[in-house]
Structure 1
């Protein structure tokens, strides 16, 4: 396709042609309306003048008779630029006036008409037209008074000529402006197309050019760039997940196979076979939990869980998680406490429960306080019980905060951004069981709901907070909290 062919097929050029047609039609209509009003104004002036003379001459005929009106008509006909005058007998013979000829039938009927004429004093006036009025006098005499329409014709010609040139100028300037706009838009679209072709060829780092005008194309490019950044991040995440799955799941799968092979080789009775099977089942459950966590993260990041969102109270979720994990915390030598206020929100209750459960599990697993000298009163330091894990649910402005605070070693600030990635396990936690997906799921759930996962310092320890948009509380669902899966 040629460059001109691409140009005339652009939306900008077609829109320019459409606006050009509408504007030309509007301009022509405006000039036509102006010409029509000019014509009407001239006709009104003529009729007013002729009506005045007709009344005056009719009154003169009534007072002074035929001789008086003939004398007045002959005097008026001699004036420069005089109107048309003609008085005839009942038989139609001319008595006085400056009209040599008229179209047939003009004098036969009274009233207004437009006719061609020829003046007695101007033989070259043949073909001119005039607006005339015929009135019947007493005794059958007829009087004609008219005015030449040459002035109206010239003025209409001037307007028509101006209209032609105006429409021509509008068309030329409109086409020129359309070509300019279309070329400018086409250059930007071609630049965007080139970038998208590079992206489709595999270069996900490409971004659409953004100008400084801030127009709709710039806004579109900014939004598409944001989408491309999100796609690039997801693709990188997918690659990292694939690599991590291949690396992190290879060890448990190998261990699973080795145990089964060892059982076949060494087990000598039913009890040993049963013990080997139980260890195999336990290892399989860990793998299933890991895959379930990956599926839940994918579900959250893809937005599929938005279909199951409803109004509920985050305080109920916190209370349910407290009841579920309190025995586990006690078995680990920790105290699980809860503090809640009314905090209505709109979201997927199951996923938010799972995310909060992951934060509690991490706190129980990794939040053991350091071995410090404990006071004799039972372990309080600076007014706080370092073995306590606190679950909180409260509303803060337009946000609902679900937080879990422990007093363990915490996460260094430099590692907090890295800690929410899939399969990431920091050095301090590598000796403990887990898959490194708990914080990843919590972060994905927070992003799904338009919120974020915040990792802060509890001095000592870690405060993990789900900051989510608050709801209205209307139609609050009354239901029990779903039992979450243990993923990390």
Structure 2
């Protein structure tokens, strides 16, 4: 396709052409109306002048008969600014006037019409155009009175000819401007296309150019660049997750295979076979839990679970989950306390939020268990209203997390070195973060001095503020 063909096929050129056509139609309509109205005004003036002359001459007949009319017509026909005037007898022979070369039988019918005529003093010249009125007088005399309308035709030419030239220049300039604007638009689009092709080839770091003009192309480029940033982040996260899955799941799978192979080689008797089978099932359950956590995180991050959201009391959920873990915490030498003094209703998934809270409490129990006999650790759950948000705090007395690692531990399969001695897959806090984001909230890890403080903020359900409740 040629360069001109590409320009003509662009949407920008088509829009400019459409606007130009509409403008030309409107401009032509206005010019046509002005021309028609001007001609109508000239014609109306001619008709009024003819009617005045007709009334005057017919009144002269009432005063002095045909002889007086003949005198008036003769005198008026010789005036320098006289219009068309002619008096004939019943057979059409001129008696007085200034009109020659009338068509045969023209005066046989009374009324208004347009004629081509030649004045008596302009014999031999080209005919002119006139509007005339034929009147029958008593005695079958015929009176023709008219006005030249050449000025009307000239006026029409004065209006139409410049208008046609103006419209022609307008179309030419419009097409030229359209080609210029379209070329600039096409240049921006070609740049975007080239960048998109580079990105599709695998270079996710490329971004669309922003001219800084703030026009629609800049807004589009900024939106697409933000989308590309998100895609690049997701792709990097996918690669990291894939690497982590390959690394973190390879060990339990290898251990599972080695135990099965060891059982085949060394197991003797039903007891050994049973023990090997139980170990295999235990390892398989751990893998299933890991994959379940991954699926739950994926559903939360993509918003697939949003359809099942309902209104529930967050305080009741916190109290119920804490009640389940109180015996476990007490057995590990921990005091689990809960402070949820008022109902706080949120819109979300109660079971999924309960799972996230269970992960936080489980982590707190796992890393806050006292190392010396007789010591007691603490885990505190506090739920309170802060403006239009519900603020949930889970604080423990464990070793805590260094500030540099607090954001990183929210990623999948991330386990700090201090955590390697404890069982787990590194997905607990990732699930918590995904669930919080699904509910439109925010999560922050802070220092509890000592220990870790996890602060979660969730928007309250509309209409659940104290003012509306009262």
TM-score > 0.5, shorter chain as reference: yes
Change in 2 beyond 3 A, CA 1:108/1:239: same
How many residues are aligned here? 463
Moved more, 173-182 or 401-410: 401-410
Q: Are 1:314 and 2:305 an aligned pair? A: no
Distance in 1 (alpha carbons) for counterparts of 2:393 and 2:111: 98
SS in 1 for 2:82: coil
Aligned to 2:354: 353
TM-score by length of 2: 0.90
Are 2:363 and 1:362 aligned? yes
Task: Identify which of structures 1 and 2 has the higher relative contact order when contacts are C-alpha pairs closer than 8 Å and 6+ apart.
Answer: 1
Equivalent runs, 1:45-444 vs 2, <5 Å: 45-334=45-334, 335-339=336-340, 341-368=342-369, 387-392=378-383, 394=385, 396-397=387-388, 399-444=389-434
CA-CA distance at 1:459 after TM superposition: 4.0
Where does the alignment leave 5 or more consecutive residues of structure 2 unmatched?
465-470
- Alpha-carbon RMSD: 2.6
Deviations 1:434-472 (A, max 9, x none): 111112122223333443322233444333233344433
Distance 2:148 2:257 in 1: 116
In structure 2, C-alpha distance between the alignment counterparts of 1:56 and 1:429, rounded to whole Å: 121
SS at match of 1:387: strand
Structure 1 regions of 5+ residues with no counterpart?
A: 380-385, 475-488
Moved more, 263-272 or 416-425: 263-272
Given that 1:368 and 1:409 are in contact with CA atoms closer than 8 Å, whether structure 2 keeps it comes out as no
Structure 1 runs (4+) deviating above 6 angstroms are 369-374
User: Could you say what secondary structure the match of 1:202 adopts?
Assistant: coil
Corresponding position of 2:456: 466
The CA deviation at 1:351 is: 3.2
CA distance in 2, matches of 1:298, 1:473: 31
> TM-score under structure 1 normalisation?
0.87
CA deviation map 1:263-319 (0-9, x unaligned):
444444433433333232222211111111111222223332233334444334334
- Give per-residue Cα distances to partners, 1:386-425, cap 9 Å, x unaligned: 613205264632x444443333333222212211111111
- The secondary structure found in structure 2 opposite 1:389 is strand
Equivalent pair of 1:455/1:463 in contact (CA under 8 Å): yes
Deviation at 1:157, TM superposition (A): 0.7
State the distance in 2 between where 1:67 and 1:337 align: 129
User: 1:457 — aligned with what?
Assistant: 447
Q: Measure the CA separation in 1 of the matches of 2:178 and 2:373.
A: 79
- CA displacement, residues 185-212 of structure 1 (integer Å, 9 cap, x when unaligned): 1111111111111111111111111121
